[in-house]
Amino acid sequence: MRKLLFVFALSAVFTIAAQAPQQAACDRACLERIADQYLAAMVAHDASRAPFAKGLVFTENAAKLPPTEGLWFTASGLGDFKFYIADPQTGQVAWLGIAKEHDKPVLLSLRLKVAKGQITEAEQQVIRGNLDEKNLNTLRRLPHTFSQPLAPSERVSREEMVRISSLYFDGIENLNGKMVPFDQECYRVENGMVTAGTFPGAPAPTPGLPSGSSCSDGLGNPVLKTIYNIRPRRTPVVDEERGVTWGVYCFNHRGLTEVKLPDGRTAKTYFSTPNTMPIAEVFKIKNGRIRDIVAFGTQVPYGLGDGWAVPSFR
């Protein structure tokens, strides 16, 4: 009898030990709560209110800073649009939304890496400037399916989601939208502007920007040859439940003044001076096809990269 009790007790100990790491893991609710703590601390200009690890690495628009500078110094509040991308498997969470800087709206895309309840990495893209209220309203009107979980039958593997996300940029570099698996209802929103496809209540694309009636057609616009390449590419956050990826992809512009069109004519480029645009891009992937694209991007000096990886030039 004693031996039997000992075996049961030992088994219970091993069971508890095996369950401990799972119970300690930061799930979706935990990750979103930490993101909210980070944002509240930033608005309060008080880094002590965020659960920062001792060796925190923080960047804003590719520049390494302490969490007292950049938007941490100027933030005055948050807007009325936000979206979370949670990846419990890697302990990361991304946040997409509207913030306020000196009471003026800015677009903010944020990634946090969490270990043992503490933030070890924080990177954010802040898009400043005179944001049109129409663009802000576009973000508020994104289709509700953007934030909905996918049915298990609609999901693909993490590896496939990352592959599809990168394939989109191959399509841009090759001006070939057919090589990218787009859903027929795909749309693209960049800094609040619709640049491909459409959805109910969406405003018309802004004149003069590379755009298309569909996501596939938009990648065939020869003016996209303004882009030299899209390197580096990172897709660190994968939300399997919602079918969403978050990554930063650097659009490098060498400074062309014109590009040659397929019919032999030439067209002016939209960037005639060198710059790099690290763009935080979110893809909703349903049934192995890109359904929604939302991107926040800004300009940094040419070749600077994203602050986390070294750019490569072909």
232 within a domain of the structure (yes/no): yes
Q: What percent of the chain is predicted at pLDDT more than 90?
A: 79
Q: Does 288 share its domain with 236?
A: yes
Alpha-carbon distance of 169 to 250, in angstroms, equals 10
- What CATH number is given to the structural domain containing 148? 3.10.450.50
Res 218: pLDDT: 87
DSSP string covering the chain: -HHHHHHHHHHHHHHHHHHHHHHHS--HHHHHHHHHHHHHHHHTT-GGGS-EEEEEEEEETTEE--TTSTHHHHEEEEEEEEEEEEETTTTEEEEEEEEEETTEEEEEEEEEEEETTEEEEEEEEEE-S---HHHHHHHHT--GGGGSPPPGGG---HHHHHHHHHHHHHHHHTT-GGGS-EEEEEEEEETTEEEES--TTPPPPPTTS--BSSHHHHTT-GGGGG--EEEEEEEEEEETTTTEEEEEEEEEE---SEEE-TTS-EEE-S--S-EEEEEEEEEEEETTEEEEEEEEE--BSTT-TTSSS-----
One domain, residues 110 and 149: no
Is residue 14 a part of any domain in this protein?
no
Considering the domain architecture, whether residues 283 and 181 belong to the same structural domain is answered as yes
Please tell me whether residues 115 and 229 are part of one structural domain.
no
Is residue 204 included in any domain, yes or no?
yes
Q: What is the pLDDT of residue 208?
A: 61
- Using 50, 70 and 90 to split pLDDT, how confident is the model at 209? low
Q: Are residues 249 and 156 in the same domain?
A: yes
Looking at the structure, do residues 77 and 213 belong to the same domain, yes or no? no
**Average pLDDT, stretch 178-189?**
96
* pLDDT score of 313 more than 70: no
User: How far apart, in Å, are the Cα atoms of 270 and each of 8, 12, 54, 213, 275?
Assistant: 71, 66, 43, 20, 12
In this structure, what token pair is assigned to residue 19? Answer: 């369950």
pLDDT band at residue 207, thresholds of 50, 70 and 90? low
Is there a single domain that holds both residue 221 and residue 185?
yes
Q: Do residues 76 and 171 share a domain?
A: no
Q: Is residue 1 part of a domain?
A: no
Q: Looking at the structure, do residues 181 and 282 belong to the same domain, yes or no? A: yes
What the block records as the tokens of 221 is 């616009």
136 falls within a domain: no
What is the number of domains present in the chain? 2
Above 60 in pLDDT, residue 48? yes
Q: Which of 97, 127, 157 is the last residue of a domain?
A: 127
The confidence score (pLDDT) of residue 16 equals 40
Q: Looking at the structure, do residues 80 and 203 belong to the same domain, yes or no?
A: no
Quick one: pLDDT at residue 4?
A: 43
Give the per-residue pLDDT at 142.
95
| Least confident span in 9-18, 96-105, 229-238, 247-256 | 9-18
**Residue 243's pLDDT is what?**
98
Mean pLDDT for the stretch of residues 114-133: 95
pLDDT bucket at 21, cuts 50 / 70 / 90: very low
Residue 211 pLDDT = 61
Pair of tokens at residue 312: 């490569």
Which residue, 63, 94, 127, sits at the end of a domain?
Answer: 127
Is residue 6 predicted with pLDDT exceeding 70? no
Please check the confidence at residue 148 and state whether its pLDDT lies above 70: yes
In a domain, 314, yes or no: no
In a domain, 182, yes or no: yes
Say whether both 149 and 284 belong to one domain: yes
**Structural domain containing residue 76:** 28-127
Residue 111 contacts residue 123 (beta carbons within 8 Å): yes
Q: Compute the average pLDDT of residues 113-140.
A: 94
Residue 8 domain-assigned?
no
Residue 123: which residues within 8 A CB-CB, separation 6 or more?
58, 59, 60, 110, 111, 248, 306, 307, 308
Are residues 283 and 158 located together in one domain of the fold? yes
Say how far apart CA 194 and CA 209 lie, in whole Å. Answer: 10
